[in-house]
Amino acid sequence: MAHSHSHSHHHHHAKNKKALFASFCIISAFVVVVFLGGLFTNSLTLLSDAGHMLSDALSLGIGLLAFKLGEKAINSKMTFGYRRLEILAALFNGLLLIGIALLIIYEALQRFAQPEEVSSVGMLAVAVVGAMINLIVAFLLTRADTSENLNVRAAFMHVMGDLLGSVGAIIASILIMWFGWTMADPIASFLISIIILKSGFEITTMSFHILMEGIPMNTEVKKIREALLDIQGVIGLHDFHVWSVTSEFTALSCHLVIVRNEHDRVLKDALKLLQDEFHIEHATIQVERAQAELDQLEPHRCNTYS
C-alpha cells in the first residue's frame, strides 16, 4: 500500500492570501462610503450595494482567517490539519449572500408599492466610485487562483455581484435624473438581488458537496477507473473512492487486483498515472494478488463500487 501527496499548492496559497488581504482592506474602507451615500440619497440600490459590499468584507475577512487557521500544522486530532475551514468559510459566505439577497428583495417589493424620492446626482457619484473600486478588487482577485480555490472564487463572485450592483446603480440614477423614473431604483436593486441570490446558491451548493465528500468538480471518475484498469497486470479494481478534502485537494483510495507478483511496478505506474493525467497527488492504493481461482478473471468482474 502506498500514498502520494505533493505540497505544490503553497505558491498558490501565498498568492491567494495576498490578494484576499488587499481586497479586504479596499472593500472594508469603502463599505461606509456606499452605506452613507445610500442613506444620504435615499437609494435602495446603493444600500443594497453597501449590504453586498459588507458581505464582501465579511467573506474576505473570514477567508483570510480560514487561510491562517488552515496553515496550522497537522496534529493527532486533525490528520488533514485545518484546511477544511476554507470550505466552512465559503459555506458561510454563500448563506450570507442568500440572506442579503432576500432582504433586498423584500425592501424592493415595499418600494414598488410606495416609490420614494431619490437624490440621483449623489447616487450616480457614489455608484461610479463604487464601480471603480470593484473593478480594482476584481482585478486583484483575478491574479489569484479563482478557478481552483473555492474561498477565493466565493470572494470573486461577491465582487462581481458588487460590480453589477454598481452598474445597476449608475443606470438607475441616470434614468431617475433624466426621466424622473423613481421606479428604476427598486427595479435595479431587485435585479441585483437576483444575481446575488444565484451566486449564493452556487457557493452554498459547492461547499455542501465538498463537505459531503462528493466527487470533485471536473473529475471524470469513469476515465480514472478505466485508466487504472488499463495498467499492465491489473485485472480488477474495488473499494474505489474519490473525494474532495478542500476545493483544491482531491484524495483517492482503491484496491488494485493483480495476477502476477508485480506489486511495486503496478503501484508506481498507478501513482504516476493519477498524478500526471488526473492531477491527483494524494492517493492511497492497495495492490493485492488475485486468488488462484480468480487468475482468469476478466477486468469487468471486479469493476464495481464497494
Quick one: which H or E segment has residue 2?
A: strand 2-4
Please give the torsion angle defined by the CA atoms of residues 249, 220, 266 and 277, in that order, rounded to the nearest 10 degrees: -70
Q: Are 283 and 241 in contact (CB under 8 A)?
A: no
The closest of 225, 271, 278, 282 to 249, measured between CA atoms, is 282
Cα Dmax for the chain: 86
Contact predicate 284/252, CB 8 Å: yes
Average pLDDT per consecutive 10 residues, the chain (306 residues; last block may be shorter): 50 70 85 86 82 78 74 70 77 86 86 79 87 87 66 75 82 88 85 82 88 80 90 88 81 88 88 88 86 49 45
The answer for residues whose C-beta is within 8 angstroms of residue 180's C-beta and 6 or more apart is none
Strand partners, 289: 258
**Domain residue extents for the chain:** 13-212, 221-296
Give 16's contacts (C-beta < 8 A, 6+ positions apart). Answer: 67, 144, 145, 149, 151, 152
Phi and psi of 120, rounded to 5°? -70, -35
Q: Does domain 221-296 have CATH number 3.30.70.1350?
A: yes
The full 3-state SS of 226-288, as one line of letters, equals HHHHCCCCEEEEEEEEEEEEECCEEEEEEEEEECCCCHHHHHHHHHHHHHHHHCCCEEEEEEE
Domain 13-212 - what CATH class? mainly alpha
pLDDT at 148: 58
DSSP string computed for 201-222: HHHHHHHHHHHTTPPPTT--HH
List Cβ neighbours of 145 (8 Å cut-off, separation of 6 or more).
12, 15, 16, 152, 248
Side-chain-side CA neighbours of residue 231 (13 Å): 28
Give exposure, 65-78, as e/b (b: 16+ Cβ within 10 Å): ebbebbeeeeeeee
**Residue whose entry in the numeric block shows the C-alpha cell 471486479:** 302
Whether the model pTM is above 0.95: no
Placement of cell 485508466 in the chain: 227
What is the predicted pLDDT for the residue at 292? 46
d(CA 84, CA 72): 12
